[in-house]
Chains A and B, each alone.
Chain A
Amino acid sequence: MKTLFVTSELFPYNKTGGLGDVCAWLPRALKKAGIDIRYIMPAFPSILQQFTELTPVYKFENKFKAKEINIYKGTIKGNPIKFYLVEAPELFLRAGNQYSDVCGNPWGDNYLRYACFSWVAAQFAEGKIDDWTPDVIHANDWMCGLVPIYLEILRRKNPKIKTSSVITIHNLAFQGVYPFSIYEDLDIPNYMFNEDGLEFYRQVSFLKGGISFADKITTVSPTYASEIQTNEFGCGLQGTLVKRREVLTGILNGVDYSIWNPETDKNIKENYNQNTVAQGKKANKEYLQSKLGILKNAKVPLFGILSRLAEQKGIDILIDSIPAILMNNVQLVVMGTDQGNYLPRLKNIAKQYPDQFAIVDFDEDFSHQLIAGCDILINPARFEPCGLTQMFAMRYGTVPFTRRTGGLADSIIDANFQNTIVNHTATGFLFDNYSVHDFIYGINRILNTYKNEKKIWDRIIKQAMNQNFSWDKSAAEYIDLYNTQLNLIK
């Protein structure tokens, strides 16, 4: 089976969020499972510089205000997957990142840039580019939201085209919405601008277009797939998603265990596995405590947060809860980039509790030390499409405590009576309502188990470390989706 994987982000070259991680690891797992998968990306400077050699394979002229759109083929050293790069210097060769200029302001012509990129990706279905016709074009998020539309236009013109489209929603909150005035630049027939197409309250929504026309829609966890069909999580697209629920599936993201493995992780103080977890975690905890400048004491429960400091991540209820949490003789460390002006308040708290509370900027290497050194990793998110840190934490024997939402609900088995005592399957703690009260109640549940139920706590750690969230598992589900649900023949 041939799959063209369409993305605007790729770890480690130009990642701005979780999308880049998923787009780096899922295609590798798909390739490993036998799929002929190739990337297509815009030729951003950060991507271009990875290639030593590129071969031109096709050229379009005078489209999307670009004189020439060249398609190049190449490979990056160490990456087993072939790349197609869409080069249109007027659109993609700019300073800043893929969405905004160096000052962080979004490019005014993003609609044109990503329409052009999506259009080119869809053209592969005709088989003229590089003599390679994908069976599936797999688009990701709003940036590639127009791929299913351009593909649909081609299929209506030429019924012999059998290529199918899949769109994955990584975070519904980002939709690519533009005023109607840009519509004529998109080269999309007017009849597609309606409530069953691209129209979103008289504006143009790239993501809604993708959702409306994709043959299959996936999200990054089964619970998120259900949640986005509700008013609370649907971000205005719940009606469209309910209409298309027959083709909507949730597939949990995976973790790259070659990077996130306490047995081999070079960033942590002492490596450990299930058999040596007690001493390994103790050494890493003491190292983390001394590095953070908080009181060095292996017996004090150490909570950690590794997250963007943003409203989505529940930082507001966390801040309101900190004094109550710290009253229990525990320690707390917060690592993340501030995206909501939370830092001043957190710094104030840190001044009041210097032995118990620390705050640090995000740092990739240090994040491994934080996960290895903490006893409990907290994520009180309002919503979380998938989330990765809880999966990292479990592999490191760090017990996750999160809200029961999205991928958190799908990846953590709550330590309630049934799962702890009867099934022995508990891997963490969950709370339901987004409130300070429920959050603190959850913290107390954890502390009770941590302090009074050592056998149960150890069992939770062991069970958590046993979980398998490898990409191979996710890839198998995507292949099943490609094969079974799109009725494609390998």
Chain B
Amino acid sequence: MSENKNVLMIASSLERGFVDKNVIDIAIALKNNGFEVSVISAGGKMVKELKKEGINHYLLPVNSNDFFVVRRNIKKITEIAKLNSIDLIHTFTPHSSFYGFKISKLTKIPYITSFLKIYKKTFWPFTKKRINYLSKGKLVIVPSEYMASFVQVTYKIPNDKIAIVPQWVDTDLFNSRNVSAERIISTASDFRIPEDHFIITTVGKLQKDRGQSLLINAVAQLPKEIRERIRCVIVGSFKEHKRYKTELENLAVKLGVEDMIHIAGETSDIPALLMLSDVYVATNIEPKASMVTMLEAESLGRPIIASNVGSTPEYVLNDTTCKTFDPKNINELIDAIVWSLKITEEERAEISQKLSTNVRLNFAKNTIPQKIVNIYKYMLGLK
């Protein structure tokens, strides 16, 4: 790049989760393309990744709702933008987009947003307004056609202000060759997964709209001889929904499948857990924006069973490697599980090859963030 361009990314936090990881990966891709990158966030575990890459990070409580803190933040961010001669601001959440909007108004620096989540309808005017700031960027980046239609209809964003950039996966980290046998054995023992069982895995926060209860019900309705062959591992944080975890456990007991269902908290080694799995299941009842864990499972070559809501169909490959089901029809999920059990070794190898190749071609970390760099170049007149 002939001219140095300075960009500022504002994230609520850099703690965990796919939005925070997005910020890190984009910042690194921008840096590698010759941009001067500054990031503002309320901090978190991932800040060190920015520092490792030599990217400026400013710690500000941008996740606070306190009026005085917000006022102070606006002032400080304006100073940072001026100090670094920022040409473009990029925000990722309602909170950070509020700042993007305000700073843009004060400094005339354009801002763009990444609209990565579906925010629940709310009657609180304050929250509603905050979410709306996400839609007010000069350009809105969404992760799927489904999300593009969603923001177009819900927030009246014109088509030519929307860019679609799919989510991505670190294909080195989620590469079956790079997950050692020791890690897999250790994870199997952590989860007390017996050998010679068919492992069904689902990963995601334990909450009702993720549909974990649907999976338990489906397992319970499988014929006995099939049921005894399988173990179902449900992994996800339940800090926010402790009661729901108990509900799921009670449901398993009530249906007599408590021995087959294993509900666990988070795991530090998702690649090893996915390698242990014979099939990955995504049971979302309502559309969810994040497809990351499903892509990670695909990257490791695991067959997929996923509810056909939201963006899912855009992230699965075809009927031979993945089965989608209507979450309102449990029989479709049962049929899909039976399908996965019938996959032969040869078919599994072929599925694995197809899925991992598809992820490497269309959802890899080393190519997709470059599309966001392309957007920056366009916004800054570099094209």
Q: A residues bordering B, Cβ < 8 Å?
A: 417-418, 421-424, 453, 455-456
The answer to whether the Cβ of B383 comes within 8 Å of any Cβ in the partner chain is: yes
> Is A421's CB under 8 angstroms from B164's CB?
no
> Is B374's CB under 8 angstroms from A424's CB?
yes
CB-CB under 8 A for A423 and B371, given A417-B163, A418-B163, A418-B164: yes
In the assembled complex, 10 residue pairs joining A and B whose CB atoms fall closer than 8 Å, in A order, are A417-B160, A417-B163, A418-B164, A421-B163, A422-B163, A422-B164, A422-B165, A422-B374, A423-B374, A453-B383
Residues of B within 8 A of A423 (CB): 371, 374
- The closest CB in chain B to the CB of A416 belongs to B160
Expressed in whole angstroms, the Cα–Cα distance for A422 and B368 within the complex equals 10
Q: How far is the CB of A222 from chain B (nearest CB, A)?
A: 13
B160, B163, B383: the one within 8 Å of A456 (CB): B383
Q: How far is the CB of B381 from chain A (nearest CB, A)?
A: 10
- The closest CB in chain A to the CB of B164 belongs to A418
Interface string of B135-177 (1 = CB under 8 A from A): 0000000000000000000000000100111000000000000
Residues of A within 8 A of B371 (CB): 422-424
Residues of B within 8 A of A424 (CB): 371, 374
The answer to whether the Cβ of B375 comes within 8 Å of any Cβ in the partner chain is: yes
Residues of B within 8 A of A456 (CB): 383
> Is A421's CB under 8 angstroms from B160's CB?
no
Chain B 344-376 interface residues, beta-carbon cutoff 8 Å to A: 371, 374-375
Residues of A within 8 A of B165 (CB): 422
Residues of A within 8 A of B383 (CB): 421, 453, 455-456
Expressed in whole angstroms, the Cα–Cα distance for A468 and B378 within the complex equals 27
Expressed in whole angstroms, the Cα–Cα distance for A417 and B164 within the complex equals 10
- The closest CB in chain B to the CB of A423 belongs to B371
Chain B 253-302 interface residues, beta-carbon cutoff 8 Å to A: none
Expressed in whole angstroms, the Cα–Cα distance for A456 and B383 within the complex equals 7
Residues of B within 8 A of A422 (CB): 163-165, 371, 374-375
Expressed in whole angstroms, the Cα–Cα distance for A421 and B374 within the complex equals 6
Expressed in whole angstroms, the Cα–Cα distance for A417 and B383 within the complex equals 11
Chain B 39-98 interface residues, beta-carbon cutoff 8 Å to A: none
Expressed in whole angstroms, the Cα–Cα distance for A453 and B163 within the complex equals 19
Expressed in whole angstroms, the Cα–Cα distance for A424 and B368 within the complex equals 12
- The closest CB in chain A to the CB of B377 belongs to A421
Expressed in whole angstroms, the Cα–Cα distance for A418 and B166 within the complex equals 12
Expressed in whole angstroms, the Cα–Cα distance for A423 and B378 within the complex equals 12
Expressed in whole angstroms, the Cα–Cα distance for A453 and B377 within the complex equals 14
Q: B residues bordering A, Cβ < 8 Å?
A: 160, 163-165, 371, 374-375, 378, 383
Q: How far is the CB of A110 from chain B (nearest CB, A)?
A: 42
Q: How far is the CB of A85 from chain B (nearest CB, A)?
A: 41
Q: How far is the CB of A90 from chain B (nearest CB, A)?
A: 50
Residues of B within 8 A of A453 (CB): 383
The 5 closest A-B pairs by CB, nearest first: A421-B378, A422-B163, A455-B383, A422-B371, A422-B374
Expressed in whole angstroms, the Cα–Cα distance for A453 and B383 within the complex equals 9
Residues of A within 8 A of B378 (CB): 421
- The closest CB in chain A to the CB of B370 belongs to A424
Expressed in whole angstroms, the Cα–Cα distance for A40 and B160 within the complex equals 53
Q: How far is the CB of B379 from chain A (nearest CB, A)?
A: 9
Q: How far is the CB of A317 from chain B (nearest CB, A)?
A: 25
Q: How far is the CB of A368 from chain B (nearest CB, A)?
A: 32
Expressed in whole angstroms, the Cα–Cα distance for A265 and B332 within the complex equals 56
Expressed in whole angstroms, the Cα–Cα distance for A417 and B163 within the complex equals 8
Residues of B within 8 A of A418 (CB): 163-164
Q: How far is the CB of B178 from chain A (nearest CB, A)?
A: 28
Expressed in whole angstroms, the Cα–Cα distance for A132 and B375 within the complex equals 59
Residues of B within 8 A of A455 (CB): 383
Expressed in whole angstroms, the Cα–Cα distance for A421 and B373 within the complex equals 10
Expressed in whole angstroms, the Cα–Cα distance for A455 and B375 within the complex equals 15
- The closest CB in chain A to the CB of B148 belongs to A418
Expressed in whole angstroms, the Cα–Cα distance for A446 and B163 within the complex equals 21
Q: How far is the CB of A453 from chain B (nearest CB, A)?
A: 7
Expressed in whole angstroms, the Cα–Cα distance for A423 and B375 within the complex equals 9
Residues of A within 8 A of B160 (CB): 417
Residues of B within 8 A of A417 (CB): 160, 163
Most buried by B among A422, A424, A456: A422
Residues of A within 8 A of B375 (CB): 421-422
- The closest CB in chain B to the CB of A455 belongs to B383
Q: How far is the CB of B372 from chain A (nearest CB, A)?
A: 8
Given A417-B163, A422-B374, 13 more pairs with CB closer than 8 A? A417-B160, A418-B163, A418-B164, A421-B163, A421-B375, A421-B378, A422-B163, A422-B164, A423-B374, A424-B371, A453-B383, A455-B383, A456-B383
Expressed in whole angstroms, the Cα–Cα distance for A482 and B266 within the complex equals 47
Residues of B within 8 A of A421 (CB): 163, 374-375, 378, 383
Q: How far is the CB of A113 from chain B (nearest CB, A)?
A: 42
- The closest CB in chain B to the CB of A484 belongs to B320
Q: How far is the CB of B198 from chain A (nearest CB, A)?
A: 26
Q: How far is the CB of A106 from chain B (nearest CB, A)?
A: 44
Q: How far is the CB of B115 from chain A (nearest CB, A)?
A: 14
Expressed in whole angstroms, the Cα–Cα distance for A422 and B160 within the complex equals 12
Residues of A within 8 A of B374 (CB): 421-424
Q: How far is the CB of B161 from chain A (nearest CB, A)?
A: 9
Expressed in whole angstroms, the Cα–Cα distance for A423 and B372 within the complex equals 9
Expressed in whole angstroms, the Cα–Cα distance for A417 and B148 within the complex equals 13
Expressed in whole angstroms, the Cα–Cα distance for A456 and B371 within the complex equals 15
Q: How far is the CB of B82 from chain A (nearest CB, A)?
A: 28
Expressed in whole angstroms, the Cα–Cα distance for A353 and B160 within the complex equals 37
Expressed in whole angstroms, the Cα–Cα distance for A455 and B163 within the complex equals 20
Expressed in whole angstroms, the Cα–Cα distance for A396 and B216 within the complex equals 58
- The closest CB in chain B to the CB of A459 belongs to B383
Expressed in whole angstroms, the Cα–Cα distance for A312 and B378 within the complex equals 39
Expressed in whole angstroms, the Cα–Cα distance for A453 and B381 within the complex equals 11
Expressed in whole angstroms, the Cα–Cα distance for A455 and B164 within the complex equals 22
- The closest CB in chain A to the CB of B379 belongs to A421
- The closest CB in chain B to the CB of A425 belongs to B371
Expressed in whole angstroms, the Cα–Cα distance for A450 and B4 within the complex equals 27
Expressed in whole angstroms, the Cα–Cα distance for A417 and B379 within the complex equals 12
Q: How far is the CB of A451 from chain B (nearest CB, A)?
A: 15
Q: How far is the CB of B205 from chain A (nearest CB, A)?
A: 30
Residues of A within 8 A of B164 (CB): 418, 422
Expressed in whole angstroms, the Cα–Cα distance for A453 and B378 within the complex equals 11
- The closest CB in chain A to the CB of B159 belongs to A417
Expressed in whole angstroms, the Cα–Cα distance for A418 and B378 within the complex equals 11
Expressed in whole angstroms, the Cα–Cα distance for A96 and B196 within the complex equals 72
Expressed in whole angstroms, the Cα–Cα distance for A243 and B64 within the complex equals 60
Residues of A within 8 A of B163 (CB): 417-418, 421-422
Q: How far is the CB of A263 from chain B (nearest CB, A)?
A: 27
- The closest CB in chain A to the CB of B371 belongs to A422
- The closest CB in chain A to the CB of B383 belongs to A455
Q: How far is the CB of B127 from chain A (nearest CB, A)?
A: 30
Expressed in whole angstroms, the Cα–Cα distance for A185 and B374 within the complex equals 66
- The closest CB in chain A to the CB of B165 belongs to A422
Expressed in whole angstroms, the Cα–Cα distance for A455 and B1 within the complex equals 14
Q: How far is the CB of A123 from chain B (nearest CB, A)?
A: 36
- The closest CB in chain B to the CB of A417 belongs to B160
Q: How far is the CB of A485 from chain B (nearest CB, A)?
A: 12
Q: How far is the CB of A346 from chain B (nearest CB, A)?
A: 36
Q: How far is the CB of B151 from chain A (nearest CB, A)?
A: 14
- The closest CB in chain B to the CB of A453 belongs to B383
- The closest CB in chain A to the CB of B382 belongs to A455
Expressed in whole angstroms, the Cα–Cα distance for A455 and B382 within the complex equals 9
Q: How far is the CB of A176 from chain B (nearest CB, A)?
A: 35
Expressed in whole angstroms, the Cα–Cα distance for A453 and B160 within the complex equals 17
Most buried by B among A423, A424, A456: A423
Q: How far is the CB of A245 from chain B (nearest CB, A)?
A: 15
Q: How far is the CB of B95 from chain A (nearest CB, A)?
A: 25
Expressed in whole angstroms, the Cα–Cα distance for A32 and B254 within the complex equals 62
